[in-house]
A and B are shown apart, each in its own frame.
Chain A
């Protein structure tokens, strides 16, 4: 590349907006295929809510992947543990959950979510120290250790809570829908979308406006150089791992409320989706993860409506298509 002379104008930074346009284009293309605008709006709102919940669960995993180069196949354990911990709060306060008051409902929901995040984060600390630490840099052993950890976690949940499905009813004020003309949008989906957006904005602010965020972004790209600058990246690893685990716990609570039930293997249906999101988003990219989660949810909902027989493979097909277009994901961050 030739050097610019002092008088040359500054080059404008190129913004890669193609991935951002992708879900918008997908949504627009499906309008005529679905036919009914109200059905399309309902499906789109459902997709956004589902996408935000997947994003919350996947965001920690993508940072762990990118920053620590750790293949954590046990991420689903944090989701299930988060959901089970919420039931511990919901059960004794069932009357408050069923009360017809938003504030009373939130007075149970918020502590339940915070406790779930705290316990999942603490479990993340134990998992990183006990399972991950001995196998840094050894992918095959990471897969074995974390898969084993997931099995142990699921069986422990079975042993403690039993094999039965535990109902987790939505708080009364979150039931029902907002009606806009012919369109009904479930209240809980609106809340899930708002929480997902808030998490995304918070992560972006931390990553882009704080030195801690700079360290995480730099560490995702080149851990060795961050250490050579004098920063102890192991502590950063642990912090990111715990935060990712806590977010998975929050996602678990939200998914349990979405499904209105909890069971030990509830993460099984999510794990594939989460890995698809992390891979198509680009390892370590929060922006890619966010767009990937929306894409996965749109494809699942539109695909399920238009071609139900393809619903099971639609996200794998999406991943293949994205990786053929951009082999390192929508926003490649690491060279791994």
Chain B
């Protein structure tokens, strides 16, 4: 399996803080790579650094073999990378439709793709012409995910999509992400929900203090409670 995304010795500073301290990671093509770790470990910074929102101070980031660490965010997005931030960042003054029109960068929205998205998130059809700011938290998350997949993308960077959501919405999100994976997309997913992590993850990376402290298969970590407690400070079962 080739690696679509590779980070080698990546350091990121935010102001005077040294957040990422030499990250080495790989996201294999067509697989879901989970990024786990305590709060403040550097997971969100890793995604933002890949996206170019916080530039890497040093190190190398390659996407499909091409170096992107010094590229601007729009360039990285145009190379097929979608980003779903933890804050969701839907445009609250725009309608659901307008949010998706903007996300469909390459032209008019594809009706088949839209129907496929509506299959997972029927609320988006119902609130099609409503302002995104009036949606509930779960609906905003659906919109945020829909925005990332309205057009086919090579790589999805998703930051804690299930945070604070009702179980029914979490299930819909998991099914949607599984389907996206089946379609061949590569996903780097930050997640705290063990159930979601176990259901979706092929590989896992655990971060602590700005470095990767563990890498392996998700199934192996899911079945090794002592390892979970050593790496994360608690068992994943206790964190679902």
Partner of B83, one of A214, A228, A232: A228
- Tell me if A3 and B136 are in contact (CB < 8 A): yes
For chain A residues 194-227, which have a beta carbon within 8 Å of chain B?
A: 211, 214-215, 217-218, 220-222, 224-227
Task: Write the nearest CB–CB distance from A11 to chain B, whole angstroms.
Answer: 7
> A35 an interface residue at 8 Å Cβ cutoff?
no
Binds A, one of B15-23, B35-43, B124-132, B221-229: B124-132
> B213 an interface residue at 8 Å Cβ cutoff?
no
- Tell me if A1 and B53 are in contact (CB < 8 A): no
> A231 an interface residue at 8 Å Cβ cutoff?
yes
B83-104 vs A, CB cutoff 8 Å, 1 = contact: the mask equals: 1010001011110001001110
> B138 an interface residue at 8 Å Cβ cutoff?
yes
Q: Cβ of B85: which chain A residues have Cβ within 8 Å of it?
A: 225, 228
- Tell me if B130 and A10 are in contact (CB < 8 A): yes
Partner of B123, one of A4, A14, A217, A220: A4
Counting chain B CB atoms within 10 Å of each CB, the highest count among A1, A211, A230, A232 belongs to A230
Partner of B74, one of A1, A6, A11, A227: A227
- Tell me if B53 and A232 are in contact (CB < 8 A): no
Partner of B91, one of A4, A217, A232: A217
Known contacts A2-B136, A214-B102, A228 near B126 by CB under 8 Å: no
Q: Cβ of B51: which chain A residues have Cβ within 8 Å of it?
A: 228
Question: Within the assembled complex, what's the spacing in Å between the Cα atoms of A217 and B73?
Answer: 19
Minimal Cβ-Cβ distance residue in B for A6: B122
Q: Cβ of B147: which chain A residues have Cβ within 8 Å of it?
A: 229
> B78 an interface residue at 8 Å Cβ cutoff?
yes
- Tell me if A231 and B139 are in contact (CB < 8 A): no
> A13 an interface residue at 8 Å Cβ cutoff?
yes
Q: Cβ of A231: which chain B residues have Cβ within 8 Å of it?
A: 74, 102, 105
- Tell me if A232 and B74 are in contact (CB < 8 A): yes
Q: Cβ of B68: which chain A residues have Cβ within 8 Å of it?
A: none
> B137 an interface residue at 8 Å Cβ cutoff?
yes
Known contacts A3-B136, A225-B85, A333 near B93 by CB under 8 Å: yes
Counting chain A CB atoms within 10 Å of each CB, the highest count among B53, B72, B73, B103 belongs to B73
Q: Cβ of B166: which chain A residues have Cβ within 8 Å of it?
A: 3
Known contacts A3-B169, A225-B89, A225-B91, A10 near B105 by CB under 8 Å: no
Partner of B130, one of A11, A217, A221, A232: A11
Known contacts A214-B98, A229-B147, A13 near B93 by CB under 8 Å: no
Q: Cβ of B92: which chain A residues have Cβ within 8 Å of it?
A: 221
Counting chain B CB atoms within 10 Å of each CB, the highest count among A11, A225, A231 belongs to A225
For chain A residues 220-269, which have a beta carbon within 8 Å of chain B?
A: 220-222, 224-233
Question: Within the assembled complex, what's the spacing in Å between the Cα atoms of A10 and B105?
Answer: 29
- Tell me if B53 and A228 are in contact (CB < 8 A): yes
Between A and B, 18 residue pairs with Cβ closer than 8 Å are A3-B169, A10-B127, A11-B130, A11-B134, A13-B130, A211-B101, A217-B93, A218-B91, A218-B94, A221-B91, A221-B94, A227-B74, A228-B53, A228-B83, A229-B105, A230-B74, A230-B105, A231-B102
19 other contacts beyond A218-B93, A221-B92, A228-B53, with CB at 8 A cut-off? A1-B137, A3-B123, A3-B136, A3-B139, A3-B168, A3-B169, A10-B130, A11-B134, A211-B102, A217-B94, A218-B102, A221-B93, A224-B53, A227-B77, A228-B77, A228-B85, A230-B105, A231-B102, A233-B74
